[in-house]
Amino acid sequence: MGMTRDELVGKYKNIRHWFESVWAVMKNGYPARKLKVIGVTGTDGKTTTCHLIYEMLKTAGKKVALVSTVAAYIGDEEIDTGFHVTTPDAKFLQPLIKRIADAGMEYLVLETTSHGLDQHRVLGCNFLVGVITNITHEHLDYHGTFAKYKAAKMKLLRMAKRPIFKYAKTKIKITNPALVGEYNKYNIGAAIAVVRMFKVQDSIINKVVRNFAGVPGRMEEVKLGQKFRAIVDFAHTPNALEQVLKTLNAQCAAHRKLILVFGCAGLRDILKRPMMGKIARKLADVVIVTAEDPRTEKLDDIYKQIVSGITPLNPPLTSQDASRRLDLRGGNPKGGGDILREDNRQKAINLAVSLAKRGDIVVATGKGHEKSMCFGMVERPWSDVEAVKRAIRLLE
């Protein structure tokens, strides 16, 4: 049986990426060979794990750089990469690696995606260590099947000279609010497995876990003196959303409510949309569905796919209806939440904040640290953190 048109296009596109990567590596003098490169991939937890590894190595006195979804760090220098993808094309990545090597760094922690692995963007990165945080549903719009997605992730372990196939969640007692949640115990466990290869002492590991400042857009709390908690998190996969909501539910006091603002990105994996709708309804008390990088898709279509996972589904409430329902309902049922729709993300966050009462938790997921949102073919400036701040200030 021959290949489909999409499969042929994908194959030749990846061949083009391969040649571009070879040229970029040669042009920049194969800079990764001068470094100990640590690759981290996985559906969720990549960024936090990368930052933990970076901080542990740095605290141990190692000359270390980091390239993650959030930014690039060379020693004490922070570089806004501006990447809207985690693993950039080789024509951007290889000059950055050269800059890192030229700065005298010894280690590089590189966040690595399935797209980057499949498209040869990390060819020539000379991975010494590779670790996978987890593999759950994501990117099937690109890979086609979960098996192909998993195979792309596994390439990192085949490329690494010292792959880490197995590690346990940490047994360290976590008191740091930046590392709450069962999932972070596994992120910490992965980081520990890596740094122990380089003889980082337990005292340093414990110090970093205790003092870790967190990662922008990962369970990032906005505090402006309001009487409720406001959180921004990058969770944009079914597993990540479930883990975040479970973690926040555990922190939500009795008779208090968890109010969620979320959406699903346009032109991306549509199969996860009903899954995320089901998770949201099950674990949040109020769910406000809104825009999240709709690109060229209609918000109507995205909304219908999200709520198709929710049965039975009542018509979306107005903000006035939701407010009355919350007042009448009183106690927190922990799930089975009301569904609202507000396509304007700022207005959706404003609504969530306006509904919150003392002790409630408001969480906006899906955008995290990102600094733009895509409508049509245009990237517009955006920040969930700033949007939450604006919403809270409206209460004054």
Per-residue pLDDT tens digits for 249-302: 999 988 899 999 999 999 999 999 999 999 999 999 999 999 999 999 999 999
Give helix then strand counts, H and E, for the chain: 14, 15
- Stated as kind and residue range, the H or E segment containing 184 is helix 182-195
Say if CB 89 and CB 96 are below 8 A apart: no
pLDDT in tens, 223-241: 999 999 999 999 999 999 9
- The tokens describing 49, both together, are 């794990």
Cα–Cα distance for residue pair 167/311, rounded to 1 Å: 38
Ranges of the chain with pLDDT below 70: 1-13, 82-86, 311-337
- The tokens describing 390, both together, are 């604006």
Say if CB 233 and CB 218 are below 8 A apart: yes
Residue burial 256-271, b: 16+ Cβ < 10 Å; e: rest? bbbbbbbbbbbebbbe
- Stated as kind and residue range, the H or E segment containing 318 is none
Cα–Cα distance for residue pair 333/330, rounded to 1 Å: 9
The distance from CA 108 to its chain's CA centroid, rounded to whole angstroms, is 20
Which residues pair with residue 221 across a beta bridge?
231
Q: In what order do the strands lie in the sheet with 229-233?
A: 220-222, 229-233, 361-365, 258-262, 286-289, 338-341
Task: Please tell me what DSSP assigns to residue 366.
Answer: S
- Stated as kind and residue range, the H or E segment containing 32 is none
Q: What's residue 333's pLDDT?
A: 46
